[in-house]
Amino acid sequence: MASGAKRKTTMAKRNRETALLERRVRKQLRKTARKQAAADEAAGTPDDVSTGEEPDAEADVTP
């Protein structure tokens, strides 16, 4: 005969499950970032694309 009382989840188990979910999310983010970096590298687009303008171009002009 089964017990009528419900088993309660302990805080330790809930903490373990939460930590596991967080690790999975972080792993997926790292995986996505690696894929994006590889795609950017293959496409030849670096992360810090400049606008093509020289900084302080007018500062070099002498009147």
Both structure tokens of 22: 């967080």
More confident residue, 30 or 51: 30
> Rounded to whole angstroms, how far apart are CA atoms 8 and 5?
9
One-letter amino acid identity for 9?
T
7 domain residue, yes or no: no
As a whole number, mean pLDDT of residues 34-59 equals 72
54 domain residue, yes or no: no
pLDDT confidence bin for 56, thresholds 50/70/90: low
The total number of structural domains that make up the chain: 1
As a whole number, mean pLDDT of residues 10-23 equals 96
60 domain residue, yes or no: no
Residue 30 has pLDDT above 60, yes or no: yes
Contacts with 47 (C-beta within 8 Å, 6 or more apart), sequence order: 40
Q: Please, what is the average pLDDT of the chain?
A: 81
61 domain residue, yes or no: no
More confident residue, 15 or 53: 15
pTM: 0.52
56 domain residue, yes or no: no
Both structure tokens of 58: 């007018």
Helical segments of the chain, H only: 11-43
Q: Which range of residues forms the domain containing residue 22? A: 12-43
